[in-house]
Every structure is written in structure tokens, then in C-alpha cells.
Amino acid sequence: MMILNERIWSIFKQNWQHTLTYWSVFFSFGLSISFLGPTVLDLRCQTQSTLQEITCVFFSQQFFMLVGSSVGGVFKKTQKCALSALFASTLLISAVFAVVPLCHSVLLLAVALAMSGTAMGVIDTIANVQLVKIYQKDSAVFLQVLHFFIGLGALVSPLIADPFLSETNCILGAGNATSELRHLRHTLGRSAGRNWSHYHLLTEGTVVTQISYAFWIMAAINLPVPILVFALMQRERAPPCCCCGTRSPRLLEQDELAMKTWDQGEGEPKNLHPEGHGGGLFSCCRKGAVSTLTPSAAGIHVLGGLVVFMTDGLIGAYSVFVYSYAVDPPLSLKHKTAGYLASIFWAAITAGRLVSVPLSCWLQPVHMLIANLAGMVITALLLLLLYADSVFLFVGTFFLGFFLSSVFPCMLAYAEDVLSYQGCVTTVLVTCAGAGEMVLQIVVGLVMHSTGSYSFLLCSVFTGAIGLCLFFALLLFRHMHR
């Protein structure tokens, strides 16, 4: 254990600025991923649109985040390209926050969030890949911290938005419009299970909202992140604009980033230059990498991607639709009480990723994956069996988020280690995780709309069980792989 700690500390001291920078860009990622939930009704008032129209912005951000994840590998071939892409992406996120209050139509808002989603996808791919390149077999603990910063950002943005949420009557409908606004604000996924045709916007007069201040505060809070990236670029003498040509030295060929590892038993450092992370998803396929993979290696790529497709998709679907399930029978919770469920879920994810940091120093990623996936399925099954217990819904929501929190970083560390940091594992996993978040939200929403809110828990159990079975299949391919 002393040798392991010495090795990790030695590598971190050489790359502390790069590591802290990659952690900070994931804070930007987290800020962007959760602000839509509490602000969707204010944005609807701002754009004078129906709820069906405003929900298109969710798909816009998720779809272009998938696109950004797929093509982000193009920018990580060299140090200049990687840092320039991160600088542009984090600066773009601040710009989007500043511009959102000026978007008075759904189309403009969808375009702005599409740009934000693309930047998030690029950040996701580059930061994950570069940490894996730097730390290799010791990357698990640093990946856990990296994904902790997503949860931290996802907690911060709703807290910033809450004081500025409008309580004005910009929606007309049957009954008390102000109470309906409070109800609708927490109804992020409600459009899947209710007919909204009896609501319409009050277009007469001026809609008063203070949500602009929240977005401008988030833009200001995010500004130190591109400044940190720019400082790293100055250290590496990488200008903001670069040409990603072949003459530029590759990322790990810089003296400052040369990753040192120690031969077991000898204590002598050795430079490693892992290959196979050069391009994005399409680049991996175009290079002929698929044809050169052994069946076991290809199975690890595919099954690893499907596992995170299910688990990250479950995170996205549960955080969106748990409120809709809670306010419907048989629980019929008060709207304000049910509104805390999503916050508890994200808090559990943040806490789980924080706890996973020290655990990853003592446990192998495969052991953490077994515990997390088994705990996920057991918790989802208990939620289904105790569907009428409102207290356990809060308890189960916390534990479900806790077990789901570290699946992706553990899977990334495990799959890269199994394949000796060859191939396109990181790119495949990042892309599949983004696809899962986009697809499963749509699927769960359609199922709840056609069969009722109870099917939400069935979908959770079904998704978790498939993810666990796919992981067992992955273990089989791991046994076959050499």
C-alpha cells in the first residue's frame, strides 16, 4: 500500500495543474446539466410558449451532448488541441448562461442549449480520456473525483436559481394559477403523464421574471474555469487557436505530462505512451480499429458501453420522472414535498462519488462495480415492492443515487485496465452514457404516458436488471480476454 500511495502521489505532483483543471471543467459540466429543471417554467414564460414546445430544449441539449461526445476525440490528439477545445467549451458555457435570458423564442433557446450540449460532450470526452492517459492503472481515484465535480455543479445551479424563481401569474388555467405555477415548476417530466391542453399562456401584458439574474450569476461563477484552462495553456505554451496537425507533439509526449509508472519490485520509473485514444467514435471506426479487435476485446467495448447506457440512462430518467410518480396515486404526495426527491437523488450521487474516492484506493474497480450494481437492483426492487410507502421512497431514492453514483468511473477504469489502455474504450463509454440519458428519458416517458405512473418503478427495476446481466456477460468476456 505504501508503494501504491507513493506512486499515486508522485504522478499527481507531476500533473497537479492538469488534474485540477480537468476536475474544474467537470464543474462546468455539472452546472449545465441540472439548471433546466427548476427554471423550465420561468423559461416558458420568457419564451411565451407551451410546455410541449419548451420541453424540446431538453432533447436539444441531450442530443448535441451526444454529438459532442462522439466528435470530441478529434480535439484530443495533441496538447494544443485538447486545451484549446476545453478553453472554448468552458467559455461557451458561460456565454450560453449569459445569453439564455435574451432568448425570447423556443427556437433560439434550443439553439443556445444545443451549443451548450456540444460543449458538454467535448468536455466529457477530453477530461475522461486525459485523466486515464495520465494515471492509467491508478486512474480510478482521480476519475471518482472528476465525476464528483459533476454532482457538485448539479447541486449548485438549482441552489442559485431558487431565490430568483418567479411566483407571478403567467399561466391561466382552472383553479388557482399561482399554486399551479408552483406545482408545474417541479414537474420536469410531467408532460409525459398529463394532458396540458387546458393550460395556456397569458400573453397580455409583460411577464415579469427575475430568472435572468440566476443565469448571469452562473455565468460569472463559471468564468474562473476557462481562466484556469487558459493558465494551463500558457504554461504549456499552447495558444487559444491551434491547428490539430500531426506536427504537434502528442499529449503525453510533453515532459510535463510524461506519465511515470513504477515497475513492481524494481522501483524504477518508466514512460508509457498509450495508444488508441486518438480520435472520436467515428474516427475509431474509420481507422479500422474494429477489424483488428479480438472478439473478446470487441465484447468488452460493447458490453461496457451497454452497462453505462443502462445506468446513466437510469440516472437521467429517475431524476426527471420521480416527481411525477410521487404526486400521483397511490402516494399522492404534496407537490412541495415531492419536489425534494430530485434534490435528494443528486445529493446522494454527489455523496456517493465523494465516498468512492477513498474506497477506490482500497478496492478494485470490479469489486466496486459488483457492489454498486447489486445495490442498485436491490434498491429498485425494494422501491417496487414498497411502492405505497412514501417514507421509503425518500430512503430508496437516496440509496439508488448512492449506488449509481460511481458506476461510470469504475467501469471506465476497469475496462481501460482490462484492455491495457488500447482501443477506444473511453470514447465508447462516454458516447453510450450520453445516448442512455437521452434515449431512456424518452422511453420511460412514453411508457408512463401509456400505462400510468406505476410503470416508472417497473422501468427502473427492468433497466437495473438488464445492466447487471450485461455486467455478468462482461465478466465472462473478461475471463476469455488475453
Q: How confident is the model at residue 15 (pLDDT cuts 50, 70, 90)?
A: confident
Judge residue 196's burial from the number of C-beta atoms within 10 Å of its C-beta, 0-12 exposed, 13-18 middle, 19 or more buried. Answer: middle
Dump pLDDT digits (tens) for 92-149.
999 999 999 998 888 899 899 899 989 988 888 888 777 777 777 766 677 777 778 8
pLDDT at 38 over 60: yes
Q: Kindly report the number of other CB atoms within 10 A of residue 262's CB atom.
A: 16
Indicate left, alpha or beta for 452 from its phi (over 0: left) and psi (-120 to 50: alpha).
left
Per-residue pLDDT at 322: 82
pLDDT at 308 over 90: yes
Which of the pair, 370 or 412, is modelled with greater confidence?
370
| Dihedral pair phi/psi, residue 340, rounded to 5° | -80, -15
Task: Please state the rounded mean pLDDT for residues 401-415.
Answer: 88
Dump pLDDT digits (tens) for 424-441.
777 788 788 888 888 888
Which of the pair, 41 or 213, is modelled with greater confidence?
213
Which of the pair, 377 or 325, is modelled with greater confidence?
377
What cell was used for 151? 454532482
Q: How confident is the model at residue 249 (pLDDT cuts 50, 70, 90)?
A: very low
* Spatial distance between the Cα atoms of 400 and 383, rounded to a whole number of angstroms: 9
Alpha helices for 328-424 (secondary structure H): 335-338, 340-362, 365-385, 390-404, 407-418
Task: Please state the rounded mean pLDDT for residues 461-469.
Answer: 94
pLDDT over 70 for what percent of the chain?
72
Per-residue pLDDT at 263: 41
pLDDT at 173 over 50: no
* Spatial distance between the Cα atoms of 182 and 185, rounded to a whole number of angstroms: 5
pLDDT at 354 over 60: yes
pLDDT over 90 for what percent of the chain?
20
* Spatial distance between the Cα atoms of 371 and 404, rounded to a whole number of angstroms: 10
pLDDT at 187 over 60: no
Instruction: Report the range of poorest mean pLDDT among 144-158, 245-259, 272-286, 342-356.
Output: 245-259
Per-residue pLDDT at 95: 94
Using DSSP's 3-state secondary structure scheme, residue 58 falls into helix
| Dihedral pair phi/psi, residue 250, rounded to 5° | -70, 160
Q: Are 392 and 310 in contact (CB under 8 A)?
A: no
> Mean pLDDT, the chain, as a whole number?
75
Alpha helices for 202-339 (secondary structure H): 211-222, 224-235, 281-286, 289-292, 295-327, 335-338
* Spatial distance between the Cα atoms of 140 and 131, rounded to a whole number of angstroms: 9
Per-residue pLDDT at 1: 41
Q: How confident is the model at residue 307 (pLDDT cuts 50, 70, 90)?
A: very high
pLDDT at 4 over 60: no
Asked if omega into 330 is within 30° of 0 (cis), the reply is yes
Among 160-174, 340-354, 402-416, top mean pLDDT goes to: 402-416
Dump pLDDT digits (tens) for 127-138.
877 777 777 776
* Spatial distance between the Cα atoms of 89 and 84, rounded to a whole number of angstroms: 8
Q: Which residues pair with 201 in a beta bridge?
A: 171
Instruction: Report the range of poorest mean pLDDT among 56-60, 123-127, 327-331, 435-439.
Output: 56-60
Nearest to 207 by CA among 435, 49, 335: 49
Q: How confident is the model at residue 254 (pLDDT cuts 50, 70, 90)?
A: very low
Pairing of strands 260-262, 269-271: antiparallel
Task: Please state the rounded mean pLDDT for residues 378-406.
Answer: 93
Per-residue pLDDT at 54: 67
Using DSSP's 3-state secondary structure scheme, residue 200 falls into strand
Per-residue pLDDT at 3: 42
* Spatial distance between the Cα atoms of 5 and 10, rounded to a whole number of angstroms: 8
* Spatial distance between the Cα atoms of 239 and 241, rounded to a whole number of angstroms: 5
pLDDT at 323 over 70: yes
* Spatial distance between the Cα atoms of 240 and 230, rounded to a whole number of angstroms: 8
Q: How confident is the model at residue 375 (pLDDT cuts 50, 70, 90)?
A: very high
At 30, which amino acid appears? G
What cell was used for 187? 414537474
Q: Kindly report the number of other CB atoms within 10 A of residue 315's CB atom.
A: 23
What cell was used for 232? 494551463
Per-residue pLDDT at 383: 94
pLDDT at 5 over 90: no
Instruction: Report the range of poorest mean pLDDT among 53-62, 181-190, 365-374.
Output: 181-190
Residues 6 or more apart in contact with residue 95 via CB below 8 angstroms: 219
Dump pLDDT digits (tens) for 231-248.
888 887 655 554 454 444
Task: Please state the rounded mean pLDDT for residues 307-328.
Answer: 85
Task: Please state the rounded mean pLDDT for residues 291-305.
Answer: 79
- Cell 461496457 locates to 304
pLDDT at 289 over 70: no
Q: How confident is the model at residue 333 (pLDDT cuts 50, 70, 90)?
A: confident
Task: Please state the rounded mean pLDDT for residues 84-91.
Answer: 90
- Maximum distance among all Cα pairs of the chain, rounded to whole angstroms: 78
Using DSSP's 3-state secondary structure scheme, residue 450 falls into helix
Distances, alpha carbon 396 to alpha carbons 230, 345, 382, in Å: 42, 9, 8
* Spatial distance between the Cα atoms of 245 and 64, rounded to a whole number of angstroms: 26
* Spatial distance between the Cα atoms of 482 and 470, rounded to a whole number of angstroms: 20
Which of the pair, 30 or 139, is modelled with greater confidence?
30
